[in-house]
Structure 1
Amino acid sequence: MDQLTQALYFILAIIPILVIFAGLVFFKKSGTFMGIVGWIVCVIIALAFFWGTPSLGSLDVAFKASIFGVISSFSISLMVLFTILQVTMMDVTGAIKSITEFIKTIAAEKYEQIMILNVGLGSFLVSIGATPVTMLPPIMMALGFSPLASIALPCLGYDPLTSFSLLAVPITAPVQAFVPAADYNHYLNILANNVSLFLPIVSTGLSIGMLWIADGMEGVKKGIVPALVAGLTLGLTCILFVRFFPDLVTITGVVAGLMAMASLFLLRVVQGKPIFNKKTAPQGAVAADGGMTKNLPLWRAVLPWGLLVVFCVIISWPPMPTILLNIMGSANKIPIIADQVVNLKLLNQAYVWVLVSTILTAPFLIKSKDQGVQIVKLWLKRAWSPTIAAAAFFAIAYIMAWSAKSVIGGKLVFDAGMDAYNMNMVIGSTLAVYLGASLFPLVAPILGLFGAFVSGSETSSNVMFYGILNKSSNMLNLDFWQIFSGHAVSGGIASGIAPAKIVNASSVIDVKGLDGEVIKKSAVVSIILTVLVGIILFCWVTFFS
């Protein structure tokens, strides 16, 4: 493929992403609508240009890639579906209001609330497998934040630790998939250490960016101290923890989130401020049904989340993943096409335990049959859109990953010479050819932003672009693990603008039409930080390798 042809194919490969971005930002369409439109555009372009001559075989692969993507999205789409159920139950029964009133007594200042909830608690929750983008927006709204801030801040707050989310799945998954088992721990520790080196700057930058989104430069001026404390604590904790506890990489985010919250409480003590305010919580709270309800005791209000945390800790205990995997055995595996099989790992998934914790705690919160019916109706109204959106973006990601592949000898592989026409390969190799070794580190993180923006998942982005970055790094004689770590960090940053995440956050507070505005505002922060990651990566590769 000559350079002109490659440039044309590069433009074709990114059209689905440009269409989605334009629809969200400029035409103010919903993430769900643009996810479906983007999927249709991606299918048409992939079949017309990247599979050579369109055929029933290529159509079948594209269709099965979509199915594979939808099922692979369960870790996000079903997590969202069941988390919205849990949050809706807590909202209607007054649990969210009780939690909000308690939080008001912890952090009186607005900017401390932003850091404690979104940076500290958000990082902790996402690290154990919970979903801050569906759990925190209702609390933010109840605390008096604008709808835009209530959506944007929970999506941004945990971004620095996305690589360590879900017990570090975004970095363990690609290493497990592509590195020999005997070298797994060695390369996982290299990747974890590399990723952590970016985090003091990234986490601090995101903390400051959140203040700007909340209240502009005035917010930055007033909240700079807690932002610096939260951001630096988060990043430095990660560096120290992965270095001194290499066998516990999976709980790095849990520890860092707790340390960030502790540092903010300590800051109040140092400043001579009480940790708890002497405010008296109101006797009644307005629930989602519009009626006044007596505040729930705090222990009952947090019971669903508390039980979920217990379940997540139990399933992450080293022997448990294997035990749970063996319980269902081959029933976890769904064959899709040729040698491509989706392993659901059902009992290992956090979304299952979100549903279980919701069912088990429902009797402690739901007061009547009518209230239960109201919860289900409101849940279905809120949940269908983000669930479909997450599935659509995963379907797009896998069409791009499987483009130009064929079934040969019972395996899904590239026919001779067709790997050059894979959409992801075209994007990665074009950047390598046109940028060269000197500029590639500056731009490589954009692939992380791009991949996670499309799929809504750093994990998917890391897995899909592993091969591309490996090939490009080898072509340019660069350290792959350094390049890949910059890609992973930027994929985490993309969570703040990923349509799937933003749709989820807006759905739990019943706000429609803000998706594009949130992306437009948050994109400023995300793009600046991605460029900064590129500069850091360039200096690291150029001067310190």
Structure 2
Amino acid sequence: MDLAFLFLLAILPIILIFIGLVFLKQSGTLMAILGWLLTVVIAVIFFQTSLSVALAASWAGILSSFGISLMVLFTILQVTMMDLTGAISRITAYVKSIAAERYEQIMILNVGFGSFLVSIGATPVTMLPPIMMALGFSPLAAVALPCLGYDPLTSFSLLAVPITIPAAAFGFDAKALGCQVALFLPVISTGIALGMLWIADGFEGVKKGLFTALLAGLTLGFSAILFVAILPASAIGLVGVFSGLVTIIVLFLLRALRGKPIDAAPAIPLPEGSMPLWKAAFPWILLVSFAVIISIPLIQSGLYAILGPVQKVPVIADKVIDLKLLNQAYFWVVVSTLISAPFLVRNRTEAKDILSLWVKRAWSPTLAAMVFFAIAYVMDWSGRSVVGGTLSFLPGADALNMNAVIGLTLALTFGVGFPLISPLLGLFGSFISGSEASSNVMFYGIIDKSTNVLSLDFMPVYAAHATAGGVASGVAVAKIINAAAVIDKIGIEGEVVRRVAPVAVALTLTIGVMLCVMLAL
């Protein structure tokens, strides 16, 4: 078949999802399911994929999504508990006392604190929207800002999993990739910070918060360059943690220099009987503590050994998904929620209300996260067959892989201009899967093949791809549904994508320009 026709077929599910969200204003969960069905049909009919392989790929995607989907499920439980017990209101009162200006609230919460949260494995798209709403932001901004702010450090989120997973899978130096990614961050982190101000309050918001946004973005970016250089390769997962903390400290120092308060004394009177701040934040204090502890390699290996091989789920042929249950952040979200519940929940009636609202809020974003991963895996496994107990391509059949068709078409179309548009693959991959880590794994082979054909240096091109995958968090439907669910605004997904897409595309093109300059030097 004609390559252009195959390319159109390969991207057709994504076009369907985009049109359904942005123009038809359908829910992200519905469009994810329709996109998955279309992907399976196209893979089977046009890309020589058996139905059994397509369904196995979907199951592998669902299992692989647990680090995201179950995190969504259980963080929504935690936030719902904090919301109905008044903990969110108490935290919001504190935020108002230390950051009266909207731009300060955006930078402290979504750039500084958000970067720290996501770096240790927590999810700001679940934790922050209720606070943003309580601070007076519109539902669109309350959803869009934490999504765009999910990855100001792009590949250093989730203890640098987007870097370490492909490095382990394909045998290259994780620190080398981290150093390349960090070079993009002073510009991209700053661009994300400025983009947040524009999304919330337009150009007037950018004007008011310009200096604070520049300071936050540049601090975050240059901190990442510093820490990835001085930390050993085994500690690359802590780059984002330290960079986020440094940014929070710098933002507080800026407030102190401006003569503004940074202590916990509320600027407005609290209602009688309000809980102390430590109690309101207790679930998050526990979660942060657990996340730091389980990031220690010795403890990681010890936790994994408790369940061992039981965690490995066979899928098809030689494909096995290792769930690593006790090493996953979502397990510790459950633990921190259960430990803190007796301190926050006042009676059985309140507990029943929490569970009822949790189920109502959580099912849709959890399902959507799973389905988007399923789409990504069907595309990645398309064209493969089981040969001698191994899932692999038949000789020459890799040309009928949906991802390979997309990458090859772009390489042939743009030739030496490929570096300029190659980051769009990262944006594309994270958009459909909701995860930069998945995108980095999915498109490794495409980037490797394209750079070989065009005689380009692989590592900078792959780093640009990864960085753009982080930028895509702002338009990743799975994350948007998650954020919308915790403030009961499911259905707003298309509006958020329309608002954030110009920022994400502009930053991705900027990454392409930076890559071209790097390759030319």
Please state how far the C-alpha of 1:270 moved relative to its aligned partner.
2.4
For the aligned residue pairs, the C-alpha RMSD in angstroms reads 1.2
Query: How far, CA to CA, are the matches of 2:404 and 2:242 in structure 1?
Result: 37
Output the amino acid matched with 2:431.
F
Flag structure 2 segments of 5+ consecutive residues without an equivalent: none
One of 248, 251, 256 as aligned partner of 1:269: 256
Aligned length, in residue pairs: 520
Query: How far, CA to CA, are the matches of 2:283 and 2:511 in structure 1?
Result: 37
Query: How far, CA to CA, are the matches of 1:535 and 1:347 in structure 2?
Result: 41
Distance of aligned partners of 1:405 and 1:64 in 2 relative to their CA distance in 1, 3 Å threshold: same
Counterpart position of 2:299: 320
Q: What SS is found at the alignment partner of 1:510?
A: coil
Question: 8 Å contact 2:74–2:333 — kept in the other structure?
Answer: yes
Query: How far, CA to CA, are the matches of 1:63 and 1:311 in structure 2?
Result: 36
User: What are the within-5 Å matches in structure 2 for residues 416-435 of structure 1?
Assistant: 416-435=395-414
Counterpart position of 1:128: 120
One of 150, 156, 164 as aligned partner of 1:172: 164
Question: 8 Å contact 1:152–1:496 — kept in the other structure?
Answer: yes
Counterpart position of 2:189: 203
* Match status 1:216 vs 2:215: no
Flag structure 1 segments of 5+ consecutive residues without an equivalent: 53-57, 285-292
* Match status 1:28 vs 2:25: yes
Please state how far the C-alpha of 1:281 moved relative to its aligned partner.
4.0
* Match status 1:411 vs 2:390: yes
Query: How far, CA to CA, are the matches of 2:119 and 2:386 in structure 1?
Result: 38
Query: How far, CA to CA, are the matches of 1:496 and 1:45 in structure 2?
Result: 28
User: What are the within-5 Å matches in structure 2 for residues 341-490 of structure 1?
Assistant: 341-436=320-415, 438-490=416-468
Question: 8 Å contact 2:147–2:473 — kept in the other structure?
Answer: yes
Query: How far, CA to CA, are the matches of 1:343 and 1:158 in structure 2?
Result: 25
Distance of aligned partners of 1:277 and 1:459 in 2 relative to their CA distance in 1, 3 Å threshold: closer
Please state how far the C-alpha of 1:280 moved relative to its aligned partner.
4.5
Q: TM-score, normalised by structure 2?
A: 0.98
Counterpart position of 2:109: 117
Query: How far, CA to CA, are the matches of 2:361 and 2:150 in structure 1?
Result: 23
Q: What SS is found at the alignment partner of 1:129?
A: coil
Query: How far, CA to CA, are the matches of 1:444 and 1:320 in structure 2?
Result: 38
Question: 8 Å contact 2:182–2:221 — kept in the other structure?
Answer: yes
Query: How far, CA to CA, are the matches of 2:10 and 2:54 in structure 1?
Result: 15
Query: How far, CA to CA, are the matches of 2:157 and 2:364 in structure 1?
Result: 24
Question: 8 Å contact 1:107–1:276 — kept in the other structure?
Answer: no
Question: 8 Å contact 1:126–1:162 — kept in the other structure?
Answer: no
Question: 8 Å contact 2:97–2:261 — kept in the other structure?
Answer: no
Question: 8 Å contact 1:160–1:489 — kept in the other structure?
Answer: no
One of 489, 501, 508 as aligned partner of 1:511: 489
Please state how far the C-alpha of 1:191 moved relative to its aligned partner.
0.3
Output the amino acid matched with 1:161.
L
Query: How far, CA to CA, are the matches of 1:200 and 1:82 in structure 2?
Result: 33
Output the amino acid matched with 1:496.
G
Distance of aligned partners of 1:92 and 1:277 in 2 relative to their CA distance in 1, 3 Å threshold: closer
Distance of aligned partners of 1:279 and 1:135 in 2 relative to their CA distance in 1, 3 Å threshold: closer
User: What are the within-5 Å matches in structure 2 for residues 144-163 of structure 1?
Assistant: 144-163=136-155
Counterpart position of 2:514: 536
Q: What SS is found at the alignment partner of 2:313?
A: strand
- 1:490-520 CA-partner distances (Å, limit 9, x unpaired): 0000000000000000000001321101000
Moved over 2 A (4+): 269-284
Query: How far, CA to CA, are the matches of 1:45 and 1:499 in structure 2?
Result: 22
- 1:289-325 CA-partner distances (Å, limit 9, x unpaired): xxxx832111111111111111111110121111111
- 1:66-103 CA-partner distances (Å, limit 9, x unpaired): 00001111010000000000000000100111111111
Query: How far, CA to CA, are the matches of 1:280 and 1:135 in structure 2?
Result: 23
* Match status 1:494 vs 2:467: no
- 1:10-50 CA-partner distances (Å, limit 9, x unpaired): 11100001100111111111110110010011111111100
Please state how far the C-alpha of 1:166 moved relative to its aligned partner.
1.3
Please state how far the C-alpha of 1:277 moved relative to its aligned partner.
8.6
Please state how far the C-alpha of 1:401 moved relative to its aligned partner.
0.3
Output the amino acid matched with 1:331.
V
Distance of aligned partners of 1:282 and 1:378 in 2 relative to their CA distance in 1, 3 Å threshold: farther
* Structure 1 stretch displaced more, 508-517 or 397-406: 508-517
Please state how far the C-alpha of 1:434 moved relative to its aligned partner.
1.6
Counterpart position of 1:243: 229
